[in-house]
Amino acid sequence: MKVTRATFDEVMVPNYNPAKMVPVKGEGSRVWDQEGVEYIDFAGGIAVNCLGHCHPAMVKALTEQGNKLWHLSNVFTNEPAIRLAKKLTEATFADRVYFANSGAEANEAALKLARRWALDKFGAEKNEIIAFTKGFHGRTFFTVTVGGQPAYSDGFGPKPGAVEHVDYNDLAALEAKMSDKTCAVMMEPLQGEGGVISPDAEFVKGVRELCDKYNALLVFDEVQTGFGRTGSLYAYQQTGVTPDILASAKSLGGGFPIGAMLTTAEIAEHLKPGTHGSTYGGNPLACAVAEAVFDVVHTDEVLNGVKHREELFKGKLAEINERYNIFKDIRGQGCLIGAELTDAYAGKARDFLNAGADEGVMVLVAGPNVIRFTPSLIIPEADVNEGLARFEKAIAKLVG
C-alpha cells in the first residue's frame, strides 16, 4: 500500500502537523525519506535516539529478545527488567525502579508516589506540588498540569488541584510558596522544551534545602536531560544535589518506548502492591533494548564524547553567528544545545527548522525563539560539520 504525507491528513487525528517528507530509513545520524533524500539528524527524535538510528548493539538486543520472549504483564517479572533495574540502581542514588512506557508515565508515577508518601507520613493536608513556569513534564492530565505552560493544560475541564508554579531560578519565589503543606517540588535540572534554560548552581542547592526544611520530596524530571544527554548518566550527578525521585525516559530506550521512575527504598515502600501499575511497564523487549543502550552510554568514552560534541556544536554555532549575527545566546549542556534568536528574528525559530529540513538537516525548536539541537550522543564529527554546513546554507537563504 502506497502511503504519503497526504494520507496522514486523511487518517490521523490532527494533533500533529508533521513535515512534508516521510522518513523511511535511518543509519547512525543520517535519515532518508521516501524519495531517497538524505538528512543529517540533529533532532534524534526529540532527544531520544541517543545512539543514532539502528545502532548494532540495540538491533542485536531487540532481535535476540524478540526471538525469546516479548511480553508477560506484571503478573510475572522478567530477566531484562531485573537486570536493567539493577544497573540503574548501581549507577545512581536510587535503590528501587518502577518501569513505565513514556516520560509522562514516569512523571505521573513520581507525582502519585509523592502524594501517597506525604499522605502516609503526614496526612491529607500535605498535598501541594510546586513546579516551575516553562517546565514540561508530559501530556497526561496530571503531568501537563504540573508543567508550567497553561496553554497545554487549558481547555480540558477541571485540572488536578493543589499544583502551584513559580519562576525557574527564583529561589525567593519558591521559598514564599513553600510550607508544611508542600509534598513535592518537581523540576527539570535543565529546562528543555521551555527554551534550554540551565538552573543556577545555587538555585538547585537552594531547592534541595527548602525541600529538606519543609519535609518535601525533590523530584527531578530527567526525561530529556537523562541517560548521558548532558555528559553524565543523569544531570543531577553534575549538580551536587541528589533528588528523592527521578524520572527517566527518551534516551533510556534510545528509540524503544520505555520510562522509569527511580527512588530510594524508603520512599518506594509507599507504592504497595496494587497502588499503581501499567500493562506494558517493564516489558522485556523495552528493557532488553534499554540495557543495551545503558551498556554503551554508561562508559567514559561516550560520556566524555558528549562533552566534546558540546564544544564542537557551540564553537561552530558561534562561528556561524559571526557571519550572520542571528543568535543572542548559545547555551545548553552536552548534546542538548539551544541557540536563541536575536530580537530581529523573534518568534521565527520554526522558520529556521523548516529551512534546515529543505537543506537536508533536521533540527528542533524549544519555544518560538530557540533552535534546539539534540543529536545522537555518538554523532560522528563529520556529520556535525556537514549538518551545520547545511544549516548555514539554510540560514543564508532565510536571512539573505
Ligand X SMILES: Cc1ncc(COP(=O)(O)O)c(C=O)c1O
Binding region for ligand X (CB under 6 A): 46, 102-104, 107, 136-138, 188, 192-193, 221, 223-224, 249
**Cell numbers of 161, please?**
488541584
Residue nearest to ligand X (CB): 103
Active site residues: 136, 221, 250
Q: Which residue has the cell 512534508?
A: 20
Shortest CB 45 distance to ligand X, Å: 10
Grid coordinates representing 293? Answer: 543502550
Please identify, using beta-carbon distances, which residue of 106 and 326 lies nearer to ligand X: 106
CA pair distance 190, 231, nearest whole angstrom: 13
Burial class, 120, CB count within 10 angstroms (exposed 0-12 / middle 13-18 / buried 19+): exposed
Determine contact, residues 362/40, Cβ cutoff 8 Å: yes
In 3-state terms, what secondary structure has residue 297?
helix
CA-to-CA distance for 394 and 400, rounded, in angstroms?
10
Q: Which of 251, 261, 264, 265 is nearest to 281 (CA)?
A: 261
Query: In the complex with ligand X, which residue's Cβ is closer, 102 or 237?
Result: 102
Nearer to ligand X, 28 or 192 (CB): 192
Sheet with 128-132: strands ordered across: 96-100, 259-263, 245-248, 217-221, 182-187, 128-132, 163-166
CB of 108 to ligand X, least distance (A): 9
Nearer residue to ligand X within complex by CB, 353 or 394: 353
| 3-state secondary structure at position 18 | coil
Of 364, 375, 356, 391, nearest to 136 by C-alpha is 364
**In terms of CB distance, is 51 or 190 closer to ligand X?**
190
CB 140 within 8 A of CB 105: yes
| Smallest separation (angstroms) from ligand X to the CB of 228 | 15
Give min distance, CB of 218 to ligand X, in A. Answer: 15
